[in-house]
Chain A
Amino acid sequence: MKRYISDWNVLQTTRKRDVCLLRLGLGEEEGKAFPDVLPGQFVQVRVDNSPSTYLRRPISIHYTIQEEREIWLLVRIAGEGTKTIAETKAGGKLNLIYPLGNGFSMPENNVEQQKLLLVGGGVGAAPLLFLGKRLKESGYVPDFLLGGYSMENFFDNSQFEAIGRLFLTTEDGSGGTKGFVTDHPVLYEEKYDFIYACGPLPMMKSVARYAFARHIRCEVSLENTMACGIGACLCCVEKTGRGNVRTCIEGPVFNIVDLESWQN
C-alpha cells in the first residue's frame, strides 16, 4: 500500500474537554492523491512550533469521506505534542504521513452468522467509527460498547448510534452501566463472533481475557510509542509468537492469539 506525505488543510476543529475532532481536507493540487484507507490505519502528524516535541505523533484515522477528500482525526490532549496538534486553527495546515499500519480485518464468513462487537475506551473509540462505517457498508450491523470515565468524556455518540446499537459504561456511573466495559451485561447476554477493541491497555487486556475464555476472535489496536511509523526504527515492537514485530507495520492491529504475553 503506497504511503504519502503531504500537507492537509485543517477545515474545522471541534473541542470537547481534552479531546479535539480535526476535519482535514486534501486540496485538489496536482499530485495529491487521496489514498485508499483501511479502518484501523493511522497517520503520523508532524508537530510544528512545539520546541519540546521532536517526533511526529501517530494518530488513528477516525473517519474518512472519500468523495470530500476528508480525513477526520480525534486527538486527546496527552502532552505538548497532541496539544499543539489539537490547537491548530481551521485554515491552518498539518503535515501527515499516511496511511500507515495494517488495519482491522473484515469478517470472513457469511453475514448472517456474524455478531460483531466494537469495544472502545476513551479516545480509543476513534478508529471504531470508521470501522463501523465499513462494516455497515459490507452488510453487517455491529454493536458498539464504549467506556469512559464520565458521560462528559464521550465525544459524539450519535455517529455510532447511526451505525448500530450503542452500549455505554462510565466509571462514575453518570450514564450507561457503572463500571468498566467488561462489566456491561451485553457481554453476557449476547454471543459475539468477533470483537474489535481499541483503548487503554488494561481495558484491551480485560477484553482479551473475555474473548480468550470464550474462544471469540478478537483484534486489538495497540498504541506503542513510535518514532518513524514507517517500519525503519524498530522502536515500537510488540512481542508476538513470531518474535518482536513492528507495531507500525505488522500492527497496530493484532489478533490476540498472536500476543503471547496476553494469554495468561
Chain B
Amino acid sequence: MAKLETDIGRLNLRNPVLAASGTFGYGLEYSDFVDFSQLGGIITKGTTIEPRQGNDYPRMAETPSGMLNAVGLQNGGAEQFVSDIYPSIKDIDTSIIVNVCGSTVEDYVSCAARIDTLEKIPAIELNISCPNVKQGGMAFGTNRESAAEVIRAVRRVYRKTLIVKLSPNVTDITLIARTAEEEGADAVSLINTLLGMAIDVDARRPVLSTITGGLSGACIKPVAVRMVWQTARAVKIPVIGIGGISSSRDALEFILAGATAVQIGAANFIDPEISVKVAGGIGEYLDRNGIDSVKDIIGAINS
C-alpha cells in the first residue's frame, strides 16, 4: 500500500484529502456518512471573532456544473466556537483546521489568538478571500499590501501552522502567494470561489440577495488547476489545491500540478461520502502505478 501521508508545514496529514471550509460544517454534519479517520482533515466553517448572521436569503444559485453562494460567513463567533463547538469536535480522529475570517486586521488577530489556545486545533486557514462580505474577506486578499499586513499581524500571535486561503479574483495569484510566503505563512490554499452572478430573466432580478456571489463546483476546476500550477512554481511553501474536485482523478490533477494536499468543497453536497472515496482512489492510483508515496507525484507532470 502506497503511503498517503503528507506534510503542511509542521502539520502531518494522514492523507492529502481535506474537506473545504463552508461545505462541511464542523464535520458533525457529516458524521452519518464519513469515517473521519479516513480523512486528511476538516476545515471548519469560517469563524469570526463576533457572531455573524450572514446575508439575506436567497444565498444560492445553481449554475451549469456548479453553484453560486453568498452565505456571508454566518457563524456563531469565536467564543461560541470555543465553548460549544470545540468540545464536541476536538476528539474527532482527524486534523481539525479552523477557517478564520474578519472585517479588520484586529478581528483576524483576535480570532486567530483565541483559536491558538485550543490544543486540538493544529492549524488555521486564514480566509482573506471570502467574496461575500462587505468588509474584510476578499478585500484583504486582492491587494499585496493589505494581505501582507493581515498575515504579518496574525503570524505574530499565531504559533501553529498558518495556511492562507487565496482569492482567484486577482490578476496574478502568484504575487499574493509570494506575499504570504514572505510574511511567514506555512502554506497557501487556493482557490476560493470566483466572483460570479446569475440573473432570473423572468423576474429581471439577480438571483442572489447580494447580487454577486462566489462560484464553486466542477466548472471552476480548470481555472483552479492552472492557478495551483502557477503558484506551486512561484513559492516554496506547500500549496493546497481547491476547486471543483469531484473524483480522485480530479484530485490527482491538482497534486500533479503541484498541490501537496487538496480540499473537497461543493462535491460534498452531491455525495457526502465523496471525500473518503477520493482518498481511497488516490491510494489505488498510486498502487496501480507502483508509486510508493503520494509525495512522489507532487508537481510531477511531464511537460
Least CB separation from A231: chain B residue: B29
Q: Is A2 within 8 A of B32, CB to CB?
A: yes
Q: Which residues of B contact A239 (CB under 8 A)?
A: 56-57
* Chain A, residue nearest B28 (CB): A231
Residue from A5, A51, A55, A243 within 8 A of B269 (CB atoms): A55
Chain B residues positioned under 8 Å from A230 (CB to CB): 29-30, 272
CA distance A226 to B23 in the complex (A): 12
Q: Which of A213-237 contact B (CB under 8 A)?
A: 224-237
CB distance from B116 to the nearest CB of A (A): 25
- Interchain CA distance A125-B55 in the complex, whole Å: 31
Closest chain B residue to A3, Cβ basis: B32
Minimum distance in angstroms from B268 CB to a CB of chain A: 7
- In Å, the complex CA distance between A228 and B30 comes to 11
Are B218 and A235 interface neighbours, CB within 8 A? no
B62 on the A face (CB < 8 A): yes
Residue B74, interface by CB 8 Å: yes
- Cβ contact within 8 Å between A52 and B64: yes
* Contact present for A97 and B272 (CB under 8 Å): yes
Q: Which of A1-47 contact B (CB under 8 A)?
A: 2-5, 46
Question: Which of under 10, 10 to 19, 20 to 34, or 35 or more describes the interface residues of A?
Answer: 20 to 34
* B51-81 contacts to A (CB < 8 Å): 53-54, 56-67, 69, 71, 74
Residues of chain A within 8 A of B201, CB atoms compared = none
Distance of A230 Cα from B53 Cα, bound (Å): 19
Contact of B23 among A3, A52, A54, A228 (CB under 8 A): A228
Q: A224-B57, A233-B22, A244-B54 are in contact. Are A54 and B67 (CB under 8 A)?
A: yes
**B273 proximity list for chain A (CB < 8 A):** 5
Q: Is the CB of A46 within 8 A of B57?
A: no
Nearest residue (CB) in A for B58 is A225
Task: Establish whether residues A55 and B270, one from each chain, have CB atoms under 8 Å apart when the complex forms.
Answer: yes
Please give, as numbers and ranges, the residues of chain B lying within 8 Å of A54 by CB-CB distance. Answer: 62-67, 217-218, 266, 270
User: In the assembled complex, which residues on chain A have CB atoms less than 8 Å from the CB atom of B66?
Assistant: 54
| Residues of A contacting B74 in the complex (Cβ-Cβ under 8 angstroms) | 234, 237, 244
Q: Are the CB atoms of A46 and B270 closer together than 8 Å? A: yes
Interchain CA distance A243-B53 in the complex, whole Å: 7
- Is A56 close to B, CB under 8 A? yes
Contact (A237, B67) CB under 8 Å given A46-B270, A232-B23:
no
Using known A-B contacts A46-B270, A54-B67, A227-B269, determine if residue A232 contacts B30 with beta carbons closer than 8 Å: yes
Q: Are the CB atoms of B64 and A228 closer together than 8 Å?
A: no
Could you tell me which residues of chain B, from 122 to 176, have a CB within 8 Å of some CB in chain A?
A: none
Q: Is there contact, CB below 8 Å, between B60 and A236?
A: yes
Bound state CA distance, A4 and B66, in angstroms?
24
- Residues in A whose Cβ lies below 8 Å from that of B280: none
Residues of A within 8 A of B266 (CB): 54, 227
Instruction: Report B190 CB to chain A, min CB distance, Å.
Output: 20
Q: Considering the chains assembled together, what is the distance between the CA atoms of A51 and B270 in angstroms?
A: 13
Q: Is B25 an interface residue (CB 8 A)?
A: yes
Residue interface mask B18-58, A partner, CB < 8 A = 1: 00001111000110110000000000010000000110111
Chain A residues with CB under 8 Å of chain B are 2-5, 46, 51-56, 97, 224-239, 243-244
Pairs A–B under 8 Å by Cβ, sample size 10: A46-B270, A54-B62, A232-B23, A232-B29, A232-B45, A233-B22, A234-B54, A234-B71, A235-B60, A236-B59
